[in-house]
Structure 1
Amino acid sequence: MTDAEATNAPRQKAARERILDAAASVMREKGIAAATTKQIARAAGYSEAMLYKHFDDKQQLFLSVVHERLPSYRRQAEDDHLGVREGLESMVAGLLRFYAESFIIAVSVFGSPELLAAQRDGVRAHGAGPEGPSRAVSAYLTRQRDAGALPTGFDPDAVATLLVGAALHTAFLAAFNGSDQVDDADDVAKALVAAVLPADVT
């Protein structure tokens, strides 16, 4: 790396972070369907050309907001210090917060078949999609089952579908009632996990 590149790197990183912050704000206010790259660039204090130096398209920008500006549900699955139950409770609590905050951003594309198709194709082009949470929870449960912490007959895919579906439904109810958060998310997560894990699993 040249001296000029080293000097410019922090500036480029700061620009990307400002654009991401602006994108998160604009998308929360307008939804992904109505938010434009021009509006986001203006909110960040940059030109659209600067935005496209950091992001290929609006879908990549959306995915970056999802991964970097919304609550995470993945880190908990990587913490080996947690027991199965506590780790799963942490993941579900993260999902409740993730869906509650992302619902208002993403739901607007369902108002138009054309917008939904464009968003679906764009997200798929970046190797992403709404299956991510279910796959993450299933992968966590599969690792735990294979390590002997869950019964051999335990079905990770089915349980992941139940938990992720419950988290999404609970977040939908919160959004319908005008909130971007699930009240008592940790307690809700514990109750959901208790409904699907065997009582003797710690």
Structure 2
Amino acid sequence: MPDQRTASGARTRQRILASAEHLMRTVGLAHVTTKEIARAAGCSEAALYRHFSGKEELFVAVLRERLPSLGPLIAELSEDPGERTAEESLTDIARNATLFYEASMPIGSSLFAEPALLARHREGLRALNAGPHKPLESLAAFLEGLRAAGRIRADADPGPAAALLLGACYQRAFLRHFMGEEGSPATLDDFATGLTRTLLTGIA
């Protein structure tokens, strides 16, 4: 019986996440409510709050579990780079970062139209030790590890290098949303490879 309850709870959680992702994409994070998410998931709002503390935690869960991996990929490469070269690892990160930003940008952009709501959301993410700065910090730490291992230049600065890579990925995602296909004439693979090689020209 406990296993059945656990399985049922896991299914409910996944329905809530799927509904949250859909509504955050279509309605916008600023405008969707937990009541609407619960209704779409076919459960009560009380059931939603048994799994998530609020909209901020739901948003973080959607980013971590429903969108292309970025933070987990950087963590995986930091723990076990395997046989991958620095170029291969950073190309993987650039590819996934671009997909992550393309998927997450429509969800969070509505927050910027409401400063008070953005401030509350910022505080909520801070309480969860989450936020858009986390991938930047993780990538800088990854580059610091490459530098310590002698795989990039000893005088390379991991922080600005991480900002250059992720900033370029974010810009590509923005241009694709704003201009459509015209905003990214190069394929994602060509973009990620070219970006990484250009970055490594400066720090390799």
TM-score, normalised with respect to structure 1: 0.91
Cα deviation 1:73-100 (Å, max 9, x = unaligned):
2344324221110000100110000000
Aligned-pair CA distance for 1:178: 5.1
Deviates more, 1:65-74 or 1:170-179: 170-179
Matched residue, 2:191: 188
Matched residue, 1:96: 98
Give the residue type in structure 2 aligned to 1:132: K
Q: For residues 166 and 100 of structure 1, what CA distance do their matches in structure 2 show?
A: 12
1:13 aligns with 2:10: yes
Q: For residues 61 and 100 of structure 1, what CA distance do their matches in structure 2 show?
A: 19
Answer yes or no: is the 8 Å Cα contact 1:90–1:186 preserved in 2. no
Matched residue, 1:156: 158
Gaps of 5+ in 2: none
Cα deviation 1:90-112 (Å, max 9, x = unaligned):
00110000000100000100001
The 3 A distance-change label for structure 1 pair 119 and 178 is farther
Give the residue type in structure 1 aligned to 2:113: G
Matched residue, 2:112: 110
Give the residue type in structure 1 aligned to 2:156: F
Give 1:43-122 correspondences, 5 Å limit. 43-77=40-74, 78-79=76-77, 80-81=81-82, 82-122=84-124
Aligned-pair CA distance for 1:194: 1.4
The 3 A distance-change label for structure 1 pair 35 and 86 is same
Q: For residues 159 and 200 of structure 1, what CA distance do their matches in structure 2 show?
A: 8
Matched residue, 2:133: 131
Q: For residues 115 and 199 of structure 1, what CA distance do their matches in structure 2 show?
A: 40
Q: For residues 27 and 169 of structure 1, what CA distance do their matches in structure 2 show?
A: 21
Gaps of 5+ in 1: none
Partner SS state of residue 177, structure 1:
helix
- RMSD in angstroms over aligned alpha carbons? 1.9
Cα deviation 1:14-56 (Å, max 9, x = unaligned):
1101110110011010110011111111111111111001000
Give the residue type in structure 2 aligned to 1:168: Y
Equivalent in 22, 27, 35 of residue 24 of structure 2 = 27
Aligned-pair CA distance for 1:160: 0.3
Aligned-pair CA distance for 1:12: 0.5
Percent of paired sites with the same residue: 39
Answer yes or no: is the 8 Å Cα contact 2:152–2:203 preserved in 1. no
Give the residue type in structure 2 aligned to 1:30: V
Q: For residues 188 and 34 of structure 1, what CA distance do their matches in structure 2 show?
A: 34
Q: For residues 200 and 50 of structure 1, what CA distance do their matches in structure 2 show?
A: 50
Give the residue type in structure 1 aligned to 2:56: Q
